[in-house]
Amino acid sequence: MAEKVAVIGAGIMGAAITTRFLERGHHVHAFDVDAEKVAALVAKGAHAAKTAAEAASKSDFVILSLNHADIVRKVVFDEGGVAEAASADKLLIDMSSIDPAATAEMAALLKEKFNMAWVDCPLSGGTPGAINGTLTIMAGGTPQDFERARAVMKDLSANYTLMGGSGAGQTTKLVNQLFCALAFQAVAEAVKLAEAGGVDPAKIPAALAGGRADGRIMQEFMAKFAARDFTATGSLGNMLKDLDSIQAFALKTRTPLPVTSAVTEIHRLLIVMGLGAKDSAEAMRLLDGK
């Protein structure tokens, strides 16, 4: 069934989400402060909106794909924001990766003052997952709103799971990012260790397949890291943003994360080296001393 969907945020992920919705026959109104990004989506069949409120007014599902909680707050509650078009028959689905506590606070405000429900649906799987409809989506909200969101989330995901109340999806995304950040660093160090021992690191994934060390990040990225292939599949800056969120949450909940703390500081070093916009494979430069 074709749905009326607003996508707010036309960056890499927002564009991929919009493209998938258009391919599945949904009617999409797109908004971003960068008009060129919206124009690229209009060329694929989307309709341009001048404000987030306009996009929301013409849609039943409002998808957010933004970088920070502060941006989400502005897009929803500032002048021209989603709240201006809020109603009980619309559903906000935030696919950004932001702070769980901020999510719960904003969701409560949108419901109490504007009678519009909010489901946090951060994702894992990147742009390929969005384009192919194979994302892993971890959700937070009421069971009823979770099921309402399924009408459009089913076209993006292969794994769509309700983790608890508002903010639970964001907490689960922090867990996901902890695993990813540590795994990327482990891959980089494993490459160096294999090379030091005269073993071709590109052969490691096949050799360890099915064993306890096996995993998607090793299988997908070890050969890439070994080849010093720095083609962008994500950015170190975004990973540090998530690691900082993990650290802030850990501090608030008094959760010890000694290894995560070390990996966070390694990412901070990479940012200082000017690699914030670069791929995670750039971690090899630090280990290579370059």
Catalytic residues: 173
How many angstroms separate the CA atoms of 141 and 145, rounded?
6
Tokens 């000017």, located at residue: 274
Task: Classify strands 61-64 and 135-140 as parallel, antiparallel or unpaired.
Answer: unpaired
**Residue environment code for 5-44, b if the CB has 16+ CB neighbours within 10 A, otherwise e:** bbbbbbebbbbbbbbbbbebebbbbbbbeeeebbebbeee
From residue 18, give the alpha-carbon distance in Å to each of 50, 63, 95: 17, 9, 12
Interacting residues of 219 by C-beta distance below 8 A, sequence separation 6+: 205, 209
Three-state DSSP class for 51?
A: coil
